[in-house]
Structure 1
Amino acid sequence: MSQYIPSISPSSLAKKVILITGGANGIGASLVTQCLEYGANVCIGDLDGVSGERLLKECRDKFPPEEEDSPPRVIFQPTDVSIYPSVLALFDLAFKTYKRIDHVVSAAGIVEIGNWFDTALTMETVRQTPTHQVLDVNLLGSMYVCRIASVYLRHNRGSNCDRSILLFSCVSGFKDSPSLFIYQASKHGVVGLMRSLRTYISSPYKHYLRINTVCPWVTQTNSIKKVEAQWKGAGLPINTPKQVATVATGVLTDQTLNGKSMFIEGGRAWEIEENIGQLESEWLGEAPSRTLALGQGLLDDGTVWNAPERPQKKSTISVGVPPGVPLGKLKGLTNGVKHTISNGVSNGMSNGLTNGVH
């Protein structure tokens, strides 16, 4: 595993347009501020309208537009990422204001709600449908953002113009998180979404976009209140929102990064995808790893799954002949079969040649 050290030049985000969901609080808010500091224009989407409006005012006071007739450096719109039209409206706002979008960050997320596998469940209480809000926000929301971003990022772009999507997962995206059942499933899904898109979406013949994931460990936000005291008592590292934002900003600006996942602990980042692939033969075994590589190579960027099916042509040779039955054993059909074969071949060739000439 290699350590990733962000390298951000002062002009790396100058005049770039960055859309950030979940940008009103915590890591998202730190990322908003940092992007503005590096010269970007930012469109914030968040369900928390109160915090969003407060952050908007603070940032507008601190980061005014360079010219009087220029649009504001930062805009905000209340957004529920689990509702498709709400996400679409956020992209429309950004595009209408700035005429393009350069980078999209899906940072909206919530923690576990209730206990899906509570040992107190009974034959009666298990009949009540549990909430799936965590899945809707964390995973479905990320999928909505990626789908819309894949279209909007392609418009009004110049030649050699870098565009990217950055998804927020966490350690639960690749490591056991007992009792965080739905949260972990959703964060695994976010990493899986990135992996399914990283070859397809980067293709010059498709979207030509970069996509990466950041996976912060315990970070100083409201979500860690239940474990904060024990964590600090054990001397374990805690990220600050600003540290995570710095890694995220580095990934946004580094045009060499695609399909990577950054594990962040104590402000330090470690890329995990490369070694998962390089060490596959060790943890999976050499023989299955070779076979897996052949299959993955055949599937390539996955286009085969979405290719339209071609209608199968029926052969005139086998018409009327039961499969697996030798022709010689079909009493009285020999002449009919020969006739069908000869007619099929001769007619097919003559018709094909004739049509080809005309």
Structure 2
Amino acid sequence: MAEIFFSSEIAENVKGKVVVMTGGAQGIGAATVSLLYERGAHVYFGDVDDVKGHQMLDVRNYNEQLELFKTPYEERGHVDIAISCAAVIEPNGWFGPDQLTLEAVETEPQPLKNAIDINLTSVVLFCRLAIAFMKADKESTKSNDFSKSIVLLSSIAGITEAAGLFAYGASKHGIIGLMRSLRALASAKYNIHINAVCPWATDTQMIDNVRSIWDEHHLPLNAPKDVAQFITQLATDPSLSGKSVLVAGGRGFDTEEGIDRTMSVWFGPLTEEFWRGQKAFGTGDQWSDI
């Protein structure tokens, strides 16, 4: 995998930009808000944390997400960067023996559903809103620059298996799939670049229950600021588009480059046909005719 480095100079591009963000009250999100603010961005964020959040926001509520975009658009006339950070981990045990009795499965496991709704369904809607507001700005100003961007927070659990995190792992894989499905369309049709950030264990409350395992095996840990730097890099560097960046021990690696470079190894003789198919489908407009 090719290593990506945080550039303080490129991050200065965020000055004066209008940023819309979910999940900005704590952890990685809070570190990102602080970094963007320090660099001169106008940051509008919402979170379910009503103590730390700029405004209350339940990402499962479409109208609340819509208002999160409307507010800066009406106040400043444009939205430049959209960052989706809101995420939850489901409680443990939903696939344990006591939760897999015929009596237990009579009731829908709401925490599992919440994880999918917050981590994935809401992000699909977030992307649709982001592109719509960015597209409106480009049309009103007749701008064709490549400065608009979307950054989605996935996880190492979106790249490989995450034992015990069933809904979380599925949803974070979904984020990578969403980014890959949108990158050609967003770039070619709307001149917007979209990327995903995939941190492994980061020093936030989300890993409190497993921190002792991490420490026992002397594994390096991300600081929230490490991840925030790569989110900012992907948001401000127009040369980075369609990337999923693994952040591990404070270092960033382009996993998409590694996948593309080694595809012939694991795809074998179908590699050429695959790329011809990808080229033929282009931005995927054909699916709308079905």
TM tier, shorter chain? over 0.9
State the structure with more CA Rg.
1
Question: Any idea what SS the aligned residue of 1:43 has?
Answer: strand
Alignment match, 1:83: 61
Partners of 1:6 and 1:251 within 8 A in 2: no
CA distance in 1, matches of 2:146, 2:173: 30
- For 2:178, the equivalent position in structure 1 comes to 193
> Residue deviations 1:110-135, cap 9 Å, x none?
01234332222212221211120000
Measured after TM superposition, the shift of residue 276 of structure 1 is 0.4
Note the 1:181-330 alignment, pairs <5 A.
Answer: 181-203=166-188, 206-285=189-268, 287-307=269-289
Do residues 115 (structure 1) and 93 (structure 2) align? yes
Q: Tell me the secondary structure at the aligned position of residue 44 of structure 1.
A: strand
Aligned partners of 1:97 and 1:229: how far apart in 2?
46
For 1:225, the aligned partner's letter is D
The percent of aligned pairs where both chains have the same amino acid is 38
Q: Runs of at least 4 residues of structure 1 off by over 6 A?
A: none
TM-align CA RMSD: 1.4
2:136 and 2:35 map into 1 onto residues whose CA distance is 25
C-alpha deviation, 1:292, in angstroms: 1.8
The farther-off stretch of 156-165 and 97-106 is: 156-165
Give the total of aligned pairs: 282
Distance, in Å, in 1 between the alignment partners of 2:240 and 2:197 is 12
Higher relative contact order (CA 8 A, sep 6+): 2
Partner Cα separation in structure 2 for residue 181 and residue 87 of structure 1:
26
Distance 1:11 1:283 in 2: 40
Query: Which consecutive residues of structure 2, in runs of 5 or more, have no partner in the other structure?
Result: none
Matching residue of 2:118: 137
Residues of 2 paired with 1:231 and 1:161: CA distance?
A: 40
Tell me how far apart the structure 2 counterparts of residues 77 and 283 of structure 1 sit (CA, whole Å): 47
Pairwise CA distance, 1:146: 0.2
What is the Cα deviation at residue 274 of structure 1? 1.3
Query: Displacement, 1:186?
Result: 0.4
Give the Cα separation in 2 of the matches to 1:90 and 1:12: 23
Indicate the SS of the match to 2:19.
strand
Aligned partner of 2:106: which letter? R
Q: Deviations over 1:46-93 (max 9, x none)?
A: 1111111xxxxxxxxxxxxxxxxxxxxxxx221111111110011111
Number of the residue aligned with 1:35? 36
1:255 partner letter? P
Cα distance in structure 2, aligned partners of 1:109 and 1:46:
10
* Residue number in structure 2 paired with 1:354: none
Q: Which residue does 2:51 correspond to in 1?
A: 50
Amino acid at match of 2:278: Q
Structure 2 residue 137 is the aligned partner of structure 1 residue 156? yes
Q: Which has the higher helix share?
A: 2
Distance 1:124 1:229 in 2: 34
Aligned-partner Cα distance in 1 for 2:12–2:158: 32
**Structure 1 residue 161 displacement after superposition:** 5.0
Q: 1:34 is matched by which residue type in structure 2?
A: L
**TM-score computed with the length of structure 2 as normaliser:** 0.94
8 A contact 2:149–2:236 mirrored in 1: no
Which residue identity does 1:133 align to in structure 2? N
Partners of 2:279 and 2:190 in 1: CA distance: 21
